[in-house]
Amino acid sequence: MTRRETLISGLCLCCLPTTTGAAAPALTEVGSGIFIRAGLHEEVTRANGGGIANVGFIVGRDAVLVTDACGSLADGEWLRAEIRKRTDKPIRYVLVTHVHPDHCFGAAAFVADQPTIIGHHALRAALGARGEFYRKRLAEILGSDRAGPVVYPTEEVKDGLELDLGGRVLRLIAHGPAHTNCDLSMLDVQTGLLFPADLLFVHRVPALDGSLRGWLNEAERLKRLGASRAVPGHGPMVVDFAPAMVDLTRYLSVLREETRKAIADGVSIADAGRTVAQTERGRWALFDDYNERNVVKAYKELEWE
Ligand SMILES: [Zn+2]
């Protein structure tokens, strides 16, 4: 399947190969007991091993939570080894924030720890629909031994869930359709650090795979949590939350308004894909890889308003 065929079929481009790539940077302790590895602003390559999303772990008095579940078995094995260099506490939870392969294929690296694998209540069906496609694409790039199997959640979040790592409470929210139809966010109550996963992209252009109007709604819901800092799914390890959300919602709003106008003016979906949101081009990495697909997705949603 070519990039363009994938684009047209509406499937996520996260796994398509490119020829560039470099080793992922190391973990940084960004808050007390919170370790994050910044993902690279690249598509998945053999060289980056699928490590393109921000991932890490949180240590409480009694246990460890992993978030996100990493982009491949190899990426997950790397993270597990890094955890074991720093703590021997049990890895009790692995959070899979949504169905995209850069956030879930490392879950298998933690199976020996027998963690609870936590996902949105819609994640199982999403993995059922797409998991094998993603796995095959990832295996083509990384080799089947490094890609990892599809791992399903063992605990589903319906609305919200509170976890306690021992003196460290984490609050999870299962969001309505937004970036995907199965987005989870998490707040570390102790530090006030928010983990919106791919509900927040920074520097890397947001990828729309759920609902544009829903994402703008869920963005408002996240703002009401009152967090001042966040670990975005893609971008720097930690950002000031408010200005990062201004950038995200500006892009999504431009996408919504210009797509609405294109529909009203009778512009075809293909022409809209080439013309909508072009003022955003210089502001985002990988803009040309995702914007057209975002417009196609937005067009299909908004033409039925
Ligand atoms: Zn994603």
- Mean pLDDT along residues 235-252: 97
Q: Is the pLDDT of residue 16 over 80?
A: no
- The model's confidence at residue 305, banded by pLDDT at 50, 70 and 90, is confident
Is residue 8 domain-resident? Answer: yes
233 contacts 55 by C-beta, under 8 angstroms: no
Residue at 182: amino acid letter: C
- The model's confidence at residue 25, banded by pLDDT at 50, 70 and 90, is low
How much distance in Å is there from the Cα of 103 to the middle of ligand 1?
Answer: 7
Of 302, 300, 303, the residue nearest 9 (C-alpha): 300
Q: Is the pLDDT of residue 89 over 50?
A: yes
How much distance in Å is there from the Cα of 98 to the middle of ligand 1?
Answer: 7
Number of domains in the chain: 1
38 contacts 54 by C-beta, under 8 angstroms: yes
Is residue 69 domain-resident? Answer: yes
CATH code of the domain in which 27 resides? 3.60.15.10
CA distances from 158 to 118, 129, 172, 182 (A): 11, 19, 10, 10
How much distance in Å is there from the Cα of 259 to the middle of ligand 1?
Answer: 22
Rounded Cα gap, residues 115 and 297, in angstroms? 35
Is residue 117 domain-resident? Answer: yes
Q: Determine the structural domain holding residue 230 and report its residue range.
A: 3-240
Q: Is the pLDDT of residue 11 over 90?
A: no
pLDDT of the residue at 162:
98
φ/ψ of 47, rounded to 5, equals: -70, -45
Is residue 261 domain-resident? Answer: no
Of 183, 164, 256, the residue nearest 221 (C-alpha): 183
How much distance in Å is there from the Cα of 149 to the middle of ligand 1?
Answer: 18
How much distance in Å is there from the Cα of 162 to the middle of ligand 1?
Answer: 23
Rounded Cα gap, residues 138 and 281, in angstroms? 28
Note the pLDDT tens digit of each residue in 262-289: 999 999 999 999 999 999 999 999 999 9
Is residue 294 domain-resident? Answer: no
Is residue 91 domain-resident? Answer: yes
Is residue 248 domain-resident? Answer: no
Is residue 264 domain-resident? Answer: no
How much distance in Å is there from the Cα of 100 to the middle of ligand 1?
Answer: 5
